[in-house]
Structure 1
């Protein structure tokens, strides 16, 4: 049996008593409240917690070879660093922290507008699939877990929706570089165990030609949600084919992969997230991608307050991406509840669209509702604007299997409005 090492949530590494690759978790909680501080939540009642705290690990300047994971010395805690630690000097890029000491956002700050006119055309259901990609593959799934490849690293993570048996053998699963174990509840901090040798918590990745850092966080996630590739490809194509400048707003932007893909495609991007730590991680990604000179505004703020302020200022965007959590808190304790605030948030997004927009894209995780709920909300929000509303699910399909063998794993719900029906 191979030696086993554990990376705990505080960054220390040491041997573990049992090989996690051969153990199964006895029980998994299917649903609990979302994470604070910019939580990202998973599909069909599963919350997907964005990591709290500043991104762990040394700055990306310590990497000497692309595709190799950055080691962390055994027995030492990983030092949390932000964008400053990388030594990169961004040109033409601003990081802005806004907000005030006002009370938590518990009620709408302006009435929800009722729009007149006909509802947009509709296309339902639409299933957007992320298959194999040079930077990502869903290798196998089953028995409430999934085996994935992120860049050069293979990982095993809990997946409550994988109700079926595994397709690959136990030996192949045991060869994974890292396995998330310990507290497997979506909201609890767990740990990563390494069956062969201890690894650092960060490594370089690339999706759609953009380099960024993958990171083993204590909340099981790695800094990117590959099912979003379907939206990112749509965004990049629209930006490249559009004549003239394009302004993109990325709400709940997390580690900034979508922001960097949009900027590389030629857009001016405003990135908004309530977590300073997530924005620090995004700035590290920007430095690694070599996109320091791209026109990106990094805004640390409560999303609703930002939208209200932009509406008052008369600012507009051609394309808006929004990926809200089920529950979260802003930098000054502002409360976000998806079911309470989503109608007003979408209404504000409509108000910020330019007269000749590209579209409005919503992804919804961890809501106990059909995609029809956000579909009809999007149609009502865009009443009188014409166009088309497409809604359905984002899914991942297993790689390296025949068409009859590759199972599909649902990850989230989405709704997308475009002006051309």
Structure 2
């Protein structure tokens, strides 16, 4: 099994070395498909495989037509709930409740002091320890009793598996719930068949939400391990009969083929890593490759599309950068570009923990 790494939801930036490995700088459900897998599994090219040549650069030109309307900043907030809660944070850590378990993980942005007393933190069931090395590997410590690798979780009535992974993530990025709810509303309101493409789809929560709402879903991730986990989640959620295509592929290569084949989608979600590798050695650098991928996502929309949602983790930029990119790309399409941050509201002191940037075009 190829190593499964995700650097996206770790707060610290990292850059590729000359050898192509990602330095520790990250993160969660994102042209390679997820680099650690937003937190995802990263594929390492085997010695007998040669990296696939990169596609010819996509020719990008300024599009004609009026720019979409804009709304910014938009802050999408996830509050504590029965399924998940950010209990407290501070001094580089966060204390979270995932279903039955209290979990402590590193959080680089938590530069403030903890609000809860030490005894509340000491009640943790699992603690991620050790610095993340080049391969994104760490370890879990279980202070009370050894826990199994997986445990049952739930999001808005959808059952899925949490999992203690060696790259500190647990298989879901709760901040994305705001996007999931918005997407489900668009699907339901369309009152017609809706096709959703989920690129860098990770463990499939967004795909399951879309399918439950009535959409036909295509879910793409470079990691076989992530796709296997997503299939497990589909069965656990009782959504095995819903139309979801699970595809192990490089996100960009897949989208390019869909463009050539004339396949079109009403909603496109893409959640790329800052840096990653695809299953055949394709190299992804967000600042180099994101403009072409965004343009590609526009090219595979139906004549009456609903939305395109971009989430960006662990990049050295503000949301204004991806906002301007999305607005340029969707010139002449009408609609509106909404951009800002995804945050999780802390239960203890009410502080906001920012997890990622986003920009979305809505028809």
Smaller-chain TM-score range? Answer: 0.7 to 0.9
Is 1:33 equivalent to 2:15 in the alignment?
yes
Contact map agreement 1:317 1:353 (CA 8 A) in 2: yes
Structure 2 length as normaliser, TM-score?
Answer: 0.88
Which residue in 2 is equivalent to 1:416? 360
Which secondary structure does the structure 1 equivalent of 2:291 belong to? helix
Q: How does 1:7-406 map to 2 (within 5 A)?
A: 30-33=12-15, 41-42=26-27, 49-51=39-41, 103-106=51-54, 108-184=56-132, 188-399=136-347, 401=348, 405-406=349-350
Q: Which moved more, 1:267-276 or 1:103-112?
A: 103-112
Distance 1:152 1:338 in 2: 36
Distance 2:186 2:136 in 1: 39
Distance 1:29 1:342 in 2: 20
Structure 1 length as normaliser, TM-score?
Answer: 0.76
Give the CA deviation at 1:104: 3.3
Give the CA deviation at 1:188: 2.8
Which secondary structure does the structure 1 equivalent of 2:196 belong to? strand
Contact map agreement 1:126 1:390 (CA 8 A) in 2: yes
Distance 1:29 1:116 in 2: 37
Distance 2:157 2:55 in 1: 42
Q: Which moved more, 1:105-114 or 1:223-232?
A: 105-114
For residues 361-386 of structure 1, the C-alpha deviation after alignment (integer angstroms, 9 at most, x for no partner) is 00001110111000000000001111
Moved segments of 4+, more than 4 Å? 34-37, 184-187
Give the CA deviation at 1:246: 0.7
Which secondary structure does the structure 1 equivalent of 2:112 belong to? coil
Give the CA deviation at 1:30: 3.1
CA 1:186/1:153 → structure 2, altered by over 3 Å: closer, same or farther? farther
CA 1:137/1:187 → structure 2, altered by over 3 Å: closer, same or farther? farther
For residues 205-233 of structure 1, the C-alpha deviation after alignment (integer angstroms, 9 at most, x for no partner) is 01022111000001100000000000000
Count of paired positions: 337
Contact map agreement 2:199 2:268 (CA 8 A) in 1: yes
Contact map agreement 1:105 1:336 (CA 8 A) in 2: no
Which residue in 1 is equivalent to 2:31? none
Contact map agreement 1:250 1:321 (CA 8 A) in 2: yes
For residues 345-400 of structure 1, the C-alpha deviation after alignment (integer angstroms, 9 at most, x for no partner) is 0111101111111100000011101110000000000011111001000000012x
CA 1:226/1:105 → structure 2, altered by over 3 Å: closer, same or farther? farther
Distance 1:195 1:181 in 2: 12
Distance 1:260 1:132 in 2: 21
Give the CA deviation at 1:180: 0.4
Is 1:407 equivalent to 2:355 in the alignment?
no
Greater C-alpha Rg: 1
Note the residue ranges of structure 1 that are not aligned, 5 or more in a row: 1-8, 10-27, 54-100
Give the CA deviation at 1:105: 4.8
